[in-house]
Amino acid sequence: MSNTDVVMAFCNAWTGPDVNSALTMLSDDIFYHNIPMQPLSGKADVSAYLLGAAAFEDCRWDVLHIAEAGEYVLTERVDRMKVAGHDIVLPVMGTFRVRDGLICEWRDYFDLASYQAQWPAGIGGGGA
In terms of residue numbers, what domain contains 17? 3-118
Residue 123 lies in a domain: no
Tens of pLDDT along the chain (128 residues) come to: 999 999 999 999 998 878 899 999 999 999 999 998 999 999 999 999 988 876 788 899 999 999 999 999 999 999 999 988 899 999 999 999 999 999 999 999 999 999 999 988 867 666 54
Query: How far is CA 13 from its chain centroid?
Result: 10
Residue 82 lies in a domain: yes
Residue 44 lies in a domain: yes
pLDDT (0 to 100) of residue 127: 57
What's 56's domain CATH number? 3.10.450.50
pLDDT (0 to 100) of residue 95: 99
Residue 25 lies in a domain: yes
Residue 124 lies in a domain: no
Residue 98 lies in a domain: yes
Residue 125 lies in a domain: no
pLDDT (0 to 100) of residue 128: 45
Single out the residue of 70, 118, 66 nearest to residue 93, CA to CA.
66
Please state, in angstroms and rounded to a whole number, the distance separating the CA atoms of residues 59 and 116. Answer: 17
Q: If you ran DSSP here, which 8-state letter would residue 120 be given?
A: P
The total domain count for the chain is 1
pLDDT (0 to 100) of residue 51: 86
Residue 23 lies in a domain: yes
